[in-house]
Amino acid sequence: MIEQVPPTALPAWLATAAGAGQPLLLDVREPAEWHTASVHPEGAELRQWPMHTIPARLAELDRARPIAVLCHHGGRSMQVALFLQQQGFDHLANVAGGIDAWALQLDPSLPRY
């Protein structure tokens, strides 16, 4: 089961996950979306890879590393998290509500689209 982590709980998830290595926030939105609104959470490395590039870049990810996946509303990120789980990744979280929830819950200055 993929853990659903709302943006307000992400800092705690990242801190807990750090025991297994530096967590990764994998933003699977498209480049135009990143330019509209992006986040850089403390305690995680950020990688911005569009969803369609994940299968080809799978070898660049460490299966033992904690990964939280982010998109606009949480749908694409959940699909990517499920795909990663099928590929043998087991420390995964979906950022529930995506960057839109992030803007609503954590950072109202973040543009919503």
Instruction: Please give the model's pTM, rounded to 2 decimal places.
Output: 0.96
CATH code for position 58:
3.40.250.10
- Residue 62: other Cβ atoms inside 10 A: 13
- Give dist(CA 100, CA 43) in Å, integer: 21
- Its domain, for residue 31, covers 3-105
What's the pLDDT score for residue 54? 98
| pLDDT averaged per 10 residues, the chain (length 113) | 96 90 96 96 95 98 96 98 97 98 96 96
Asked whether residue 9 is domain-assigned, the answer is yes
What's the pLDDT score for residue 18? 80
Asked whether residue 112 is domain-assigned, the answer is no
In the residue annotation, 71 being an active-site residue is answered as: yes
Asked whether residue 83 is domain-assigned, the answer is yes
Asked whether residue 95 is domain-assigned, the answer is yes
Asked whether residue 113 is domain-assigned, the answer is no
What's the pLDDT score for residue 21? 84
- Give dist(CA 88, CA 96) in Å, integer: 22
Catalytic residue among 26, 71, 78, 101: 71
Asked whether residue 111 is domain-assigned, the answer is no
Total count of domains within the chain: 1
